[in-house]
Structure 1
Amino acid sequence: MSLDSTLHEALTALNQGRYKTVLKVAKSGMKRYKSHPAFPNFAGIALSSQGKHRDAAGYFKKALGLDPTFHDARRNLAQALILLQQSDTALTLLNRLLEGAPKDPDGWYLKGQALLNCGQPRAAADAATRSLELNTRQPRALNLRGVARNMLGDEAEAIADFQTALTLNPNDVEALVNISLPLARQTRHAEALEAAERAVHLAPTHLNARLRLAMQLLESGDQDGARDQFQTILGQAPGHAQAIEQLAALNAAAANADLEPIARRALKTAPRQSSDAARLHFALARMARQAGEQEKFASHLTQANGALAHIMPFDSDGDSQQFESLRTRFNAGADQVQAPAPSGPTPIYVLGLPRSGTTLTETLLGAHPNVCPLGERAVPGVLLAPFLENDIAFDTAACAQFVARDQERLPALPDGIRFYIDKMPENYRLIGALLTAYPHARIVHMCRDPRDVALSMWQAHFSGKALSYTYDLAAMAHRFNLYAGLMAHWHSVFPGQILDVQYEDLVTDVDGQSRRLADHIGLKWVEDMAHPERSTGPVLTLSANQVRQPVHSRSVGSWKPYETMLTPFISGLDPNLWPGVQQG
């Protein structure tokens, strides 16, 4: 068989999806035509199509060794490395590829994918835009840019990208899955649920589609529906770590007794320092606590958080520098910008440490007919980052620019709304900028016993790197000390503008504290504010289950049986900032 006919046979099999045949022909070609780079490239494509990305990468490297100018092999190798979670290495390859082929839309798409994996959503969106400029009809590039824009808080633009992808292909399951979350964040909950349901209808075995549907149901308060979806996922993928973790949180002890052996089998095959291993340890910790097995509970939490700390190490020095910079930028002696009050509804920022009661407080306030709860908005933090990280003056012009861009990204609010709630907890870092830009904004600061907060955090699986300090008890104490110092600073800079609400007071006197909240906001108190369990609105945070119950104080003092486990945290708290805690 000639070289041309062998190449033609491999290409034909590839176009027909017959990957075993492709691999067989490619290996035969490599023996007969040892210097031809196309055959190891074919072999790599065949292996990658079967999910064998590590083996595939070896063949792509062989092809490049035979011909260093072989752009297809370099692109294919980059894609394999991205799938192997080696995006940093892939970026190096892709930069070299695009130097030689700057008009390669696939190369720009892959660069965007690698940048997104490296935590650079803005650069990823730019790369996806470049890919689309070269070829406008690319649903995958639209999906990539939409995901990046959603991470940047540009929910409306993200939705537009996903909608364009769906115009090109109405049955694009990835676009349907992707569009569901930003629709929910824009308070378009019925559309969000419809998109997730359609994705599952089109692809019943698509795990991400079922996961998104399950989470949308959970956020909407349909725990039984969510549980059914997670069970279906386990039926399709018995060791699915996220489904196991979510079921463990939803299940009572009896159901978790049946789930435990499934979780233990899955843990045996999960890489030790991986997010899947962390999820499974969190699930097993929940089961151990239900069973009253404190040592196992502590052990699983230590392993879960240890895995995540390995994946997302905490930078304590950088953290300290950031807080000092915030203090310096906004201080009592500095001339503050006198920004005019923006028109439209006034923001209420409910903030504090995560797990301090921000979701409960948002639910109380959101029960008022003149208030619209918007959950945790990433937008302010994203928009303010360039000013705060690069020492750019936050002057009158910058203030006006921030407000305009922030308000552009608000969802359509119902008639009669006077206030909207942003309950991103870590907005406490941004109080200086927020009160400069929105001088009439209301700030509600949730306070809670730090030991109860620490226990709650230690049991929680947060997404992303922003809360990496929660995976190390000493790092957690470090951040808590910075937080307490910064809040004292804000009180001195903005006296009387920040309402401190003690979580313990709120859960023991919800009537009185909800009235106090209404008074601070400037609202006439309504009875529903004292009954968050009546709320039917979706909840897009880890607290979705808790706030649908009548207010209770069962979690107050819950740290006490686990004092030994929390010792590295408790001993790290500054007694000047947390008086009485070590002796409490």
Structure 2
Amino acid sequence: MQNDFTQALRAVQGGDFRSAQRLARKGLKADKAHPGWMNIAGIAECGMGRPKAGLPHFQLALKLAPDFHDARRNLAQTLLLLGRAEEAAGQLHRLTDANAQDDGAWALLAQAEMARGEGAAAMAAAGQLIALHPGQARGYLLRARLLGQMGDEAAALADLERAAELEPGNVEAQIALSLPLARADRPDAARAAAERAVELAPGHVPARLALAMRLVEQGQTEAAKEQYRAVLKIAPGQPEALEQLAQINSGAENAMLAPQVLAALKSADDNGPAKGQLHFALARIAGQEGDEDGFAKHLTRANAAMARLMPYDSGADTRLSEALMARFGPGAEGDGPGDGVAPVYVLGLPRSGTSLTEAMLGAHPAVHPLGERIAPGRLLAPLIDGGLPFDAGARAAFRQGEAESLPALPDGTRFYTDKMPENYRLAGFLLAARADARVIHLRRDPRDVALSLWQAHLAGSALNYAYDLRAMAHRFNLYARMMTHWHAAFPGRILDLAYEDLVADVEGASRRLAAHLGLDWVPEMARPDQAAGQVLTLSASQLRQPVHARSVGKWRQHEAMLAPFIAGLDPRLWPGLG
């Protein structure tokens, strides 16, 4: 049996979990009270994507041998995978108490504490891992990921740069470094990090995906296509590459790509995002071909797949929105001007024209565009979650935190832009924090916004409502209520700009924007396509085209598909929709 046990361990190490499972069953048949076989059986189940089935094996192994540290670590990791972070943390604390040198336990504990919402404890656990191995990149990479989740991008970037310095040949470090560099407005360094990752490991799929995305953001579409095609040579069914390539391909190129997407769909896993990604790709291809039925069918299936992974809680969203509005009544006032460069918050519904507006503003030499910043949300989260007052001290702390989170700005900058669309939820805090803050609110026909969101695949779970038409209508109604409230609470502080007016008269809209900031208008503001630099959103390719109105009223072509959304709009909140 010892030979079988050795073979099982080798199978686990080689990722052959079916063989490990077969050997474990054989071993347990011979000895039902063998904790080692129980542990291997649990690992095999988890390796085959069945963590619930693996859990009792680890629990029984520990019942048989309470000091079996590997089984306890595996139990904690499985609990974490199942979303049971509290239980996982308890198991991990037992491990670190018994052996403070257990680096694997510290790494898992950091993740468990973060999942519990205990950021300080998570950082302390990551710090222990760094203390155990100060010359390795691993601990810095983990802490950077935690810092990123907490929204402290500057500290995360410092840790990533340290990791890359310690291990210049670490592909994961270079990949992890690329996006934060882009967000820090260092596009050349961001692309160089991704290029370095590809040089280190030409066959590494995530490295090529990262490089492709940096190229898209910088407007180098053809070079990005080459990277996605290289990924597909390595992994022909890779869903992210197929989806992203479909978005930037011409119609003729996508006609050749379609069979590859269909083949990948046949073998796609039902439990992950792959099916959604591939249906988004097929919807794009059908749309280019003028196949309206195929377009609607694939979008419906794509969004349904994503909605299953990220369901929307309408009740929780309503409670949060009402709590945010209740903090600021009519006639709320803001503090005096802050020190230094003033913020311009460009907000509204996603896909409402915030990127285009930022590009127009960024064409002015006194305005520096910073894209979608997460610092305000990070700084305000403890106050919102804890129901704490946004008093003078809290407002001063917010202003200081905002200033410290800014990258170096060019000489002569008077304003920086933050175009996080859903800052509309935080508008009360942003306006109360400083009187010189500018808010520009983009309004767009909600039906056109819904169509744009329905055919977009948005990263992360923050916009999970966009995968369900009824949920989207509910969220849009909340948005309309909130913007009405902010106008009443801060009269005259918010400039409303209709997307339809913006694209119909670019110069006129850009003059209004300049006047709102108290700046002299410059002609470059009327040509945002020539001013667009790095763009980190889905609007990257669109911003590099001359402004057009082709998408205005496009919802009418897809009215039947959007019917559940349109029916869910509250006519009292959306007057004048015809």
SS in 1 for 2:278: helix
Q: Give the equivalent residue in structure 1 for 2:173.
A: 175
Q: Give the equivalent residue in structure 1 for 2:373.
A: 377
SS in 2 for 1:543: coil
1:263-282 map, 5 Å = 263-272=261-270, 274-282=272-280
Q: Give the equivalent residue in structure 2 for 1:505.
A: 501
Unaligned runs of 5+ in 2: none
Residue 388 (structure 1) aligned to one of 384, 389, 392: 384
User: For each residue in 1:278-308, what CA deviation from the matched residue of structure 2 results, as whole angstroms up to 9, or x when unmatched?
Assistant: 1111111111111111122111111111111
Residue 90 (structure 2) aligned to one of 91, 95, 104: 95
Structure 1 residues 25, 463: CA separation in 2 closer, same or farther (over 3 Å shift)?
closer
What is the Cα deviation at residue 124 of structure 1? 4.6
Structure 2 CA distance, aligned partners of 1:245 and 1:118?
Answer: 33
Structure 1 residues 121, 559: CA separation in 2 closer, same or farther (over 3 Å shift)?
farther
What is the Cα deviation at residue 416 of structure 1? 1.1
Q: Give the equivalent residue in structure 2 for 1:452.
A: 448
1:390-429 map, 5 Å = 390-429=386-425
Structure 1 residues 355, 120: CA separation in 2 closer, same or farther (over 3 Å shift)?
farther
Structure 1 CA distance, aligned partners of 2:15 and 2:363?
Answer: 58
Q: Give 2:162's aligned amino acid.
A: T
Asked if 2 retains the 8 angstrom alpha-carbon contact of 1:108 and 1:130, the reply is yes
Structure 2 CA distance, aligned partners of 1:284 and 1:134?
Answer: 49
SS in 2 for 1:394: coil
1:240-319 map, 5 Å = 240-272=238-270, 274-319=272-317
Does 1:494 pair with 2:493? no
Q: Give the equivalent residue in structure 2 for 1:556.
A: 552
Asked if 2 retains the 8 angstrom alpha-carbon contact of 1:74 and 1:93, the reply is no
RMSD: 3.0
SS in 2 for 1:88: coil
Asked if 2 retains the 8 angstrom alpha-carbon contact of 1:74 and 1:94, the reply is no
Structure 1 residues 389, 56: CA separation in 2 closer, same or farther (over 3 Å shift)?
closer
Asked if 2 retains the 8 angstrom alpha-carbon contact of 1:10 and 1:26, the reply is no
What is the Cα deviation at residue 467 of structure 1? 0.8
1:317-356 map, 5 Å = 317-332=315-330, 336=333, 339-356=335-352
Q: Give 1:535's aligned amino acid.
A: A
Q: Give the equivalent residue in structure 2 for 1:467.
A: 463
SS in 1 for 2:347: strand
Structure 1 CA distance, aligned partners of 2:46 and 2:484?
Answer: 57
Q: Give 1:98's aligned amino acid.
A: H
1:121-270 map, 5 Å = 124-270=122-268
Asked if 2 retains the 8 angstrom alpha-carbon contact of 1:352 and 1:446, the reply is yes
Structure 1 residues 6, 279: CA separation in 2 closer, same or farther (over 3 Å shift)?
closer
SS in 2 for 1:101: helix
Q: Give the equivalent residue in structure 1 for 2:515.
A: 519
What is the Cα deviation at residue 405 of structure 1? 1.2
Structure 1 CA distance, aligned partners of 2:193 and 2:407?
Answer: 18
SS in 1 for 2:554: coil
Structure 1 residues 538, 28: CA separation in 2 closer, same or farther (over 3 Å shift)?
same
Asked if 2 retains the 8 angstrom alpha-carbon contact of 1:273 and 1:308, the reply is no
User: For each residue in 1:490-512, what CA deviation from the matched residue of structure 2 results, as whole angstroms up to 9, or x when unmatched?
Assistant: 11121111111111111111011
What is the Cα deviation at residue 63 of structure 1? 4.0
What is the Cα deviation at residue 424 of structure 1? 0.2
Structure 1 residues 456, 60: CA separation in 2 closer, same or farther (over 3 Å shift)?
same
User: For each residue in 1:31-71, what CA deviation from the matched residue of structure 2 results, as whole angstroms up to 9, or x when unmatched?
Assistant: 887755346556877x6998788698787566445423311
Structure 2 CA distance, aligned partners of 1:279 and 1:270?
Answer: 10
User: For each residue in 1:423-467, what CA deviation from the matched residue of structure 2 results, as whole angstroms up to 9, or x when unmatched?
Assistant: 000011111110111211111110111110010011111122211
Q: Give the equivalent residue in structure 2 for 1:437.
A: 433
Structure 1 CA distance, aligned partners of 2:275 and 2:12?
Answer: 38
Structure 1 CA distance, aligned partners of 2:464 and 2:15?
Answer: 44
Please identify, of 26-35 and 350-359, the stretch whose mean Cα deviation from structure 2 is larger. 26-35
Structure 1 residues 247, 124: CA separation in 2 closer, same or farther (over 3 Å shift)?
farther
SS in 1 for 2:507: helix
1:101-120 map, 5 Å = 101-102=96-97, 103=100, 104-114=102-112
Structure 1 residues 79, 139: CA separation in 2 closer, same or farther (over 3 Å shift)?
farther
Q: Give 2:90's aligned amino acid.
A: N
Structure 1 CA distance, aligned partners of 2:298 and 2:114?
Answer: 31
Structure 1 CA distance, aligned partners of 2:116 and 2:196?
Answer: 31
SS in 1 for 2:270: coil
User: For each residue in 1:64-114, what CA deviation from the matched residue of structure 2 results, as whole angstroms up to 9, or x when unmatched?
Assistant: 4542331112213444676xxx34247624522422433333112123345
Structure 1 residues 315, 34: CA separation in 2 closer, same or farther (over 3 Å shift)?
closer
Structure 1 residues 479, 59: CA separation in 2 closer, same or farther (over 3 Å shift)?
closer
Q: Give 1:407's aligned amino acid.
A: A
Asked if 2 retains the 8 angstrom alpha-carbon contact of 1:57 and 1:80, the reply is yes
Structure 1 residues 579, 205: CA separation in 2 closer, same or farther (over 3 Å shift)?
same
Q: Give 2:529's aligned amino acid.
A: E
SS in 2 for 1:365: helix
Structure 1 residues 28, 308: CA separation in 2 closer, same or farther (over 3 Å shift)?
closer
Q: Give the equivalent residue in structure 1 for 2:65.
A: 67
User: For each residue in 1:341-388, what CA deviation from the matched residue of structure 2 results, as whole angstroms up to 9, or x when unmatched?
Assistant: 211111010000000000000001101111110000011011112212
SS in 2 for 1:354: coil
Please identify, of 461-470 and 373-382, the stretch whose mean Cα deviation from structure 2 is larger. 461-470
Structure 1 residues 100, 155: CA separation in 2 closer, same or farther (over 3 Å shift)?
closer
SS in 1 for 2:552: coil
Q: Give the equivalent residue in structure 1 for 2:481.
A: 485
TM-score normalised by L of structure 2: 0.91
Q: Give the equivalent residue in structure 2 for 1:360.
A: 356
Structure 2 CA distance, aligned partners of 1:48 and 1:308?
Answer: 25
SS in 2 for 1:347: strand
Asked if 2 retains the 8 angstrom alpha-carbon contact of 1:323 and 1:486, the reply is yes
Structure 1 CA distance, aligned partners of 2:470 and 2:49?
Answer: 40
Q: Give 2:127's aligned amino acid.
A: T
Structure 2 CA distance, aligned partners of 1:112 and 1:447?
Answer: 42
Structure 1 residues 570, 513: CA separation in 2 closer, same or farther (over 3 Å shift)?
same
Q: Give 2:430's aligned amino acid.
A: L
User: For each residue in 1:213-234, what CA deviation from the matched residue of structure 2 results, as whole angstroms up to 9, or x when unmatched?
Assistant: 1101110110011111111111
What is the Cα deviation at residue 168 of structure 1? 2.7
Q: Give 1:352's aligned amino acid.
A: G
Structure 1 residues 375, 508: CA separation in 2 closer, same or farther (over 3 Å shift)?
same
Please identify, of 409-418 and 31-40, the stretch whose mean Cα deviation from structure 2 is larger. 31-40
Structure 1 residues 25, 354: CA separation in 2 closer, same or farther (over 3 Å shift)?
closer
Report the count of equivalent residues. Answer: 572
Structure 2 CA distance, aligned partners of 1:247 and 1:119?
Answer: 37
SS in 2 for 1:544: coil
Structure 2 CA distance, aligned partners of 1:93 and 1:152?
Answer: 20
Structure 2 CA distance, aligned partners of 1:241 and 1:60?
Answer: 33
Structure 1 residues 534, 77: CA separation in 2 closer, same or farther (over 3 Å shift)?
same
Please identify, of 571-580 and 444-453, the stretch whose mean Cα deviation from structure 2 is larger. 571-580
User: For each residue in 1:459-487, what CA deviation from the matched residue of structure 2 results, as whole angstroms up to 9, or x when unmatched?
Assistant: 11112221111111111111111111111
Q: Give 1:92's aligned amino acid.
A: E
Structure 1 residues 302, 323: CA separation in 2 closer, same or farther (over 3 Å shift)?
same
